[in-house]
């Protein structure tokens, strides 16, 4: 189809500008800079960068950082990073006003993170408070499901680790 944003192989590209929650804006609009895809970071770099994005009200962009870790990290950690990406997307949907999708992804991410941490010796992998994230996600899912309306992504941003750490 003429005029569509495609690469040389005909696959769709996401070159449209986006807002801070990842929603497409009209071509020519000024959007928020997108996270580069396929970046390999250390786990601690991933956590620090994602926390900065969450604190800035950009959970969609934090999800992309977690997705890179999920795709490039060790197989044994994929459930963890995928769960964290789901938590970020759940917050994104909740901030966009999609209560059903937000609550569902928050719960799914909480289950993945909790399941990953079950039976492991390390309570705080890479400094993250996984039990606290699970509590945060389930509490927010309950409020969103209860019809609280769109949430403020800055006010609702989780802390990945204790204060003073990413």
37 pLDDT tier (thresholds 50, 70, 90): confident
Task: Supply the pTM of this predicted model.
Answer: 0.85
Q: What pLDDT, on the 0 to 100 scale, is given for residue 32?
A: 85
**Which of the four pLDDT bands, split at 50, 70 and 90, describes residue 1?**
very low
What number is the average pLDDT over the span 73-100?
96
- Asked if residues 55 and 154 have their Cβ atoms less than 8 Å apart, the reply is yes
Q: Is residue 112 predicted with pLDDT exceeding 70?
A: yes
Residue percentage of the chain with pLDDT more than 70: 87
Which helix (H) or strand (E) segment holds residue 62: the answer is helix 59-72
151 and 158 in contact (C-beta within 8 Å)? no
CA-CA distance, 107 to 142, in Å (whole number)?
9
What residue spans define the domains of the chain? 1-34, 43-145
Between 27 and 12, the higher pLDDT residue:
27
Q: What's the helix, strand, coil split of the chain in %, to 5? A: 50, 0, 45
> H or E stretch including 54?
helix 43-55
- Tell me the mean pLDDT in the region 51-73: 95
Residue 162 has pLDDT above 60, yes or no: yes
CATH superfamily assigned to domain 43-145: TTHA0068-like (1.10.3450.10)
Paired with 24 in beta bridges are 18
Hey, which residues does 70 pair with through a beta bridge? none
- Measured from the Cβ of residue 20, the count of other Cβ atoms closer than 10 Å reads 18
Q: Is the pLDDT of residue 164 over 90?
A: no
Looking at the predicted structure, is the pLDDT value of residue 104 above 90? yes
Query: Are 24 and 53 a contacting pair, CB within 8 Å?
Result: no
C-alpha distance from residue 27 to each of 12, 16, 60, 126 (Å): 15, 6, 20, 39
How confident is the model at residue 38, as a pLDDT?
83
Confidence label for 117 from pLDDT (cuts 50, 70 and 90): confident
Stretch (H or E) spanning 96 = helix 78-96
Average pLDDT, the chain: 88
């Amino acid at each position: 189809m003429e005029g569509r944003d495609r690469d040389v192989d005909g696959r769709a590209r996401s070159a449209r500008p986006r807002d801070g929650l990842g929603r497409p804006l009209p071509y020519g609009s000024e959007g928020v800079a997108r996270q580069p895809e396929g970046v390999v970071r250390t786990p601690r770099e991933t956590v620090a960068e994602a926390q900065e994005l969450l604190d800035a009200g950009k959970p969609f962009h934090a999800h992309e950082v977690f997705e890179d870790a999920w795709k490039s990290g060790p197989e044994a950690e994929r459930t963890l990073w995928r769960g964290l990406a789901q938590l970020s997307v759940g917050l994104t949907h909740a901030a966009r006003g999609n209560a059903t999708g937000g609550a569902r992804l928050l719960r799914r991410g909480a289950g993945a993170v909790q399941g990953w941490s079950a039976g492991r010796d390390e309570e705080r992998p890479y400094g993250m408070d996984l039990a606290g994230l699970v509590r945060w996600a389930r509490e927010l899912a309950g409020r969103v499901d209860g019809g609280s309306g769109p949430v403020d992504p800055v006010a609702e941003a989780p802390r990945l680790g204790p204060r003073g750490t990413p």
